[in-house]
Every structure is written in structure tokens, then in C-alpha cells.
């Protein structure tokens, strides 16, 4: 199924409705406009509500794994209601529907986590027993490994909602991705945490664009905005996640970095209570990114053994 996109037949871009998701969809549209000298009228942005957005009163781990923020958008793609879908890659399942493909990534943003607190400047400054809000099992486990004294509470919602909860005193501190804060123009709130202190989620800071495999016009349109370095890095990270069956229910961190002709991958798995961590570093040629990530996943899965994430 191939369509020629134009003002008369605009490209329909599917996205979640959060301010961050919309910022990513607008960035995609801007890049496509610049790459092809097309006017804004050649594109429409279609907001699709996902299960992850609709259910705000329960932890993500209770309502399912990955796919909570993508399933309905992918269905719209399969149905032909939209032509491309813009995703935060850390929300995307490692196995896609057969008819869909992600072969375009935007240049990656800051991969780090940000510590956010109106009163304190870093994790180490938090007083004994301080209340910290996060919905991420990875961040919870990493925090408990560092500071088992902290009291952790569930903290769902978009960036604005979480900042409001801090103002209301629901928690003393929380964490957000630096990438999201940069894309929203709120980076002044961030106290970045270096990746050797808190390894980020796999594919954090990366935006991927999904399309139907048989849509050659969409493929041609997306090709000029594709960032190969980002794609190589997240290929390693997603291969790692796939071997570990990573979802919102599993505390896993992973980051691939390129240094010339070497791809270096760091990964870790943590018990949900923070009591045990298995971590390692692997490297090899960038052309073998998927193999490197998969090998890391297999090795750490063997170290963890059966029921590690229970």
C-alpha cells in the first residue's frame, strides 16, 4: 500500500496526547518539512489515547508490560487511520506487529535521568526516610540499592502532573528523563544524574518512527531524517531487553555508546527490592550492535537465575 503524500493527501502522524509526545510529533513534522521543503499543511497530527494514558490510578506494572503507550497507536497504523507513529522508544515493545517496522530514529537526546526536588540537590542530600515518588521499577530498585532507608511512593502522570505533585508535597523528590525536560524546555528544573550512578532505561531519550512495512512512500519520506548512530545504539539496548523479556515489570538499565569504531554497552539487572544487582560491560564493532546487546542479556539472565525479578 503506497500513497504519495501532499497537501491534498497529508501524511497523518499518530501520537499520544501528552505535551512531551506532542513535542516529539512536532519535531518529526518540522524535520520532515525541512528535509522535503514541504509546508505544514502536508501533515496532520492525530492524537490517540493509549491504555497507559487512560489508566492513571494504578502502577504500570499492574496493568501490563510494554505496549501500554503504543498498542492503540499501532492499531491505528494497521487500520490505515494514520501513516506513521512517533514513539518514545523506551515505551516500545521489543517485538513489533508483523506488518509494522521501525527503521527511522531521530537524533538521540540526553540519556540521563534527572533528580527533581524543590528542596534538595542530589540523592545523597535526602534526609533519612525521605519520601520519593516514582512509577519506574528500574529507578525504584536503583534507589533502594543506594538508599534502602528511602520511602518510595507511586508517582504516575506526565511531566506537568508529577511536578504538581511535588509542589503539593506528595513527595520530597522525583525523577524524570533529561530528554523529556529538554524537549519541553524545562531543563532548568533538572539536576542530571551521571550514567555511572544511575544507568538509564534502554532507549531512553530516543524517538523512533513506526510505519507499515509495505508503505514505500513513507519509507522514502522518513529516510532523510533517520539518525544511524542513534539507531545502532538503541538496537543494542533493545536486543539486551529482548533477551531479558524486559517490560515495565522488570528493573533493567542499559546504555550503548559509540566511540569511533567501538560500541560499548553497559547493562544491569536489579532485584525489585534493590538487594542484588548484576551488571557488566561489553564491546565490539557497531555493525554487531544487536549481537552485543543480546549477548549481554543472555549473560546477565544466567547470572540472575530463575525468578530473579520476582
CATH number at 154 reads 3.40.190.10
- Any domain includes 245: yes
Range of the domain at 166: 113-193
How high is the pLDDT of residue 90? 92
Provide mean pLDDT across the span 36-44.
95
How high is the pLDDT of residue 176? 93
pLDDT above 60 (res 56): no
Nearest-CA neighbor of 28 among 81, 88, 75?
A: 88
Whole-model pTM: value is: 0.91
For the chain, what percent of residues have pLDDT higher than 90?
A: 80
- Any domain includes 286: yes
Q: How many structural domains is the chain composed of?
A: 3
How high is the pLDDT of residue 2? 45
How high is the pLDDT of residue 135? 87
Lowest mean pLDDT of 57-61, 78-82, 114-118, name the range.
57-61
Nearest-CA neighbor of 296 among 284, 306, 307?
A: 284
How high is the pLDDT of residue 114? 96
98-128: per-residue pLDDT in tens?
999 999 999 999 999 999 999 999 999 999 9
Residue 159 — pLDDT band, cuts 50, 70, 90? confident
Same domain for 175 and 33? no
Task: Report the DSSP pairing between strands 262-270 and 277-284.
Answer: antiparallel
Q: Which three cell numbers stand for residue 1?
A: 500500500
Give catalytic status of residue 91 as yes or no: yes
Alpha-carbon distance 5 to 8, whole Å? 8
- Any domain includes 294: yes
Same domain for 41 and 88? yes
Provide mean pLDDT across the span 151-155.
92
How high is the pLDDT of residue 1? 38
pLDDT above 60 (res 49): yes
The one catalytic residue in 8, 53, 79, 91 is: 91
Same domain for 185 and 142? yes
**pLDDT, averaged across the chain:** 91
The answer to whether the beta carbons of residues 103 and 226 sit under 8 Å apart is yes
Amino acid at each position: 500500500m503506497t500513497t504519495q503524500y501532499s497537501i491534498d493527501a497529508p501524511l497523518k502522524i499518530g501520537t499520544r496526547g501528552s505535551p512531551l509526545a506532542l513535542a516529539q510529533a512536532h519535531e518529526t513534522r518540522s524535520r520532515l518539512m525541512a528535509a522535503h521543503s514541504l509546508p505544514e499543511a502536508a501533515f496532520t497530527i492525530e492524537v490517540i489515547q493509549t491504555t497507559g494514558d487512560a489508566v492513571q490510578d494504578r502502577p504500570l506494572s499492574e496493568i501490563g508490560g510494554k505496549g501500554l503507550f503504543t498498542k492503540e497507536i499501532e492499531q491505528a497504523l494497521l487500520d490505515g487511520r494514520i501513516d506513521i507513529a512517533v514513539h518514545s522508544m523506551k515505551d516500545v515493545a521489543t517485538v513489533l506487529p508483523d506488518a509494522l517496522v521501525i527503521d527511522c530514529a531521530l537524533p538521540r537526546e540526553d540519556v540521563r535521568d534527572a533528580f527533581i526536588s524543590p528542596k534538595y540537590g542530589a540523592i545523597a542530600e535526602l534526609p533519612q526516610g525521605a519520601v520519593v515518588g516514582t512509577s519506574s521499577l528500574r529507578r525504584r530498585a536503583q534507589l533502594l540499592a543506594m538508599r534502602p532507608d528511602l520511602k518510595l511512593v507511586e508517582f504516575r502522570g506526565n511531566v506537568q502532573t508529577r511536578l504538581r505533585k511535588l509542589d503539593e508535597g506528595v513527595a520530597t523528590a522525583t525523577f524524570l528523563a533529561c530528554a523529556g525536560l529538554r524537549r519541553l524546555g524545562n531543563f532548568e528544573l533538572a539536576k542530571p544524574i551521571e550514567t555511572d550512578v544511575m544507568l538509564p532505561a534502554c532507549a531512553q531519550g530516543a524517538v523512533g518512527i513506526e510505519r507499515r512495512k509495505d508503505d514505500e512512500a513513507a519509507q522514502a519520506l522518513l529516510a532523510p531524517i533517520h539518525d544511524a548512530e542513534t539507531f545502532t545504539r538503541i538496537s543494542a539496548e533493545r536486543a539486551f531487553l529482548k533477551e531479558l523479556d524486559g517490560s515495565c515489570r522488570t528493573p533493567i538499565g542499559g546504555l550503548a555508546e559509540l566511540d569511533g569504531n567501538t560500541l560499548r554497552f553497559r547493562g544491569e539487572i536489579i532485584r525489585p527490592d534493590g538487594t542484588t544487582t548484576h551488571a557488566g560491560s561489553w564491546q565490539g564493532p557497531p555493525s554487531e550492535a544487536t549481537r552485543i546487546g543480546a549477548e549481554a542479556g543472555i549473560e546477565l539472565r544466567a547470572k540472575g537465575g530463575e525468578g530473579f525479578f520476582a
